[in-house]
Amino acid sequence: MCGRCACTRGPRGVARACAYRNRSDVVVEPSWVLSSDKGYWPSYNVCPQTYTPVLISGGHSHVVKCGCTDSDRVLQSMKWGLVPSWHKGEPDKFSTLLNNCRSETMLQKPSFRGAISKGQRCVVLADGFYEWETAKPGKQPYFITFADDASSKETVKLSTDNDDFDDDTKKSPFKGRLLTMAGYFDIWRPANGDGDAHFTYTIITVESQKPFSDIHHRMPAILDGDDAISQWLDYEKTPIEKAVEFIHPVDCLKWYPVSTAVNNSRNKSPDCVKEIDPSKPVKKKLPASQPSLFKWMSKSKSPSEKKSHDLSSDDVGMPPTKKEKQ
Query: Which residues participate in catalysis according to the annotation?
Result: 2, 131
Which H or E element spans position 63?
helix 61-65
What CATH homologous superfamily does 5-275+316-325 map to?
SOS response associated peptidase-like (3.90.1680.10)
What backbone phi and psi angles, to 5 degrees, belong to 271? -60, -20
The model carries a pTM of 0.81
In whole numbers, what is the pLDDT of the chain averaged over residues? Answer: 82
Residue type, 197: A
HSE-up of 227 (CA within 13 Å, CB side)? 5
Task: Count Cβ atoms below 10 Å from residue 202 Cβ, excluding itself.
Answer: 27
pLDDT at 257 over 50: yes
In which band, very low, low, confident or very high, does the pLDDT at 63 lie, cut at 50, 70 and 90? confident
Q: What is the mean pLDDT of residues 125-143?
A: 89
> 221 near 248, Cβ under 8 Å?
yes
Q: What is the pLDDT of residue 69?
A: 62
> 124 near 100, Cβ under 8 Å?
no
Kindly tell me the sign of the dihedral angle through the C-alpha atoms of 213, 216, 218, 223: negative
pLDDT at 137 over 80: no
Q: What is the mean pLDDT of residues 131-157?
A: 74
Per-residue pLDDT tens over the stretch 181-208: 999 999 999 887 777 889 999 999 999 9
Residue 193 β-bridge partners: none
Residue 129 β-bridge partners: 5, 144
120 or 88, which is more confident?
A: 120
Q: What is the pLDDT of residue 321?
A: 47
In which band, very low, low, confident or very high, does the pLDDT at 134 lie, cut at 50, 70 and 90? confident
Share of the chain above pLDDT 90, in %: 59
Per-residue pLDDT tens over the stretch 270-307: 999 999 998 887 665 544 444 443 343 444 444 444 33
Residue type, 208: S
